[in-house]
């Protein structure tokens, strides 16, 4: 297995990371992408992020509001809904348990 698997791992957890990022308050797509990039996830393209935001909105986990700008194009601001907070808590707990299991198995194999 010589392929770098980080991209597929990232796609598997991106919904959760977006929800977690919105716990700090409302934000728009470009800012969410910048925060994730600064956290070490690299450049997140709009073609990856915006379908996630749309899916989360359709599921009622985030709310979106378009606001025109004085200069340039308007922005769509996203906020976490109460349902989104519940899903984040539940799925976040499951992810951390999964992470613990992976670390245990890899640790027994001598991976540090």
What's residue 76's pLDDT? 96
What is the value of pTM for the model shown?
A: 0.90
E-strand spans in 17-61? 27-28
* Res 2: pLDDT: 53
How far, in Å, CA of 107 to CA of 85, rounded? 32
Residue-by-residue pLDDT tens, the chain, 112 positions? 556 888 888 888 999 999 999 999 999 999 999 999 999 999 999 999 999 999 999 999 999 999 998 888 999 999 999 999 999 999 999 999 999 999 999 999 999 8
pLDDT in tens, 46-65: 999 999 999 999 999 999 99
Composition of the chain by helix, strand, coil, percent to 5: 65, 10, 25
Residues 66 and 75: beta-carbon distance below 8 Å: yes
Give the per-residue pLDDT at 40.
Answer: 92
* Confidence (pLDDT) at 3: 66
Extract the runs of DSSP E, i.e. beta strands, from 9-94: 27-28, 62-67, 75-80
78 CB-contact burial (10 Å; exposed 0-12 / middle 13-18 / buried 19+)? buried
* CB contact at 8 A, 74 and 23: no
At 58 the pLDDT is 98
């Amino acid at each position: 297995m010589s392929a770098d698997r980080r991209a597929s791992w990232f796609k598997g957890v991106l919904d959760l990371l977006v929800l977690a990022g919105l716990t700090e308050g409302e934000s728009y797509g470009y800012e969410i992408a910048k925060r994730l990039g600064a956290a070490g996830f690299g450049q997140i393209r709009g073609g990856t992020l915006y379908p996630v935001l749309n899916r989360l909105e359709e599921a009622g986990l985030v709310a979106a509001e378009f606001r025109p700008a004085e200069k340039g194009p308007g922005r769509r601001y996203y906020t976490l809904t109460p349902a989104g907070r519940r899903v984040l808590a539940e799925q976040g707990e499951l992810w951390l348990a999964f992470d613990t299991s992976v670390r245990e198995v890899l640790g027994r194999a001598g991976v540090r």
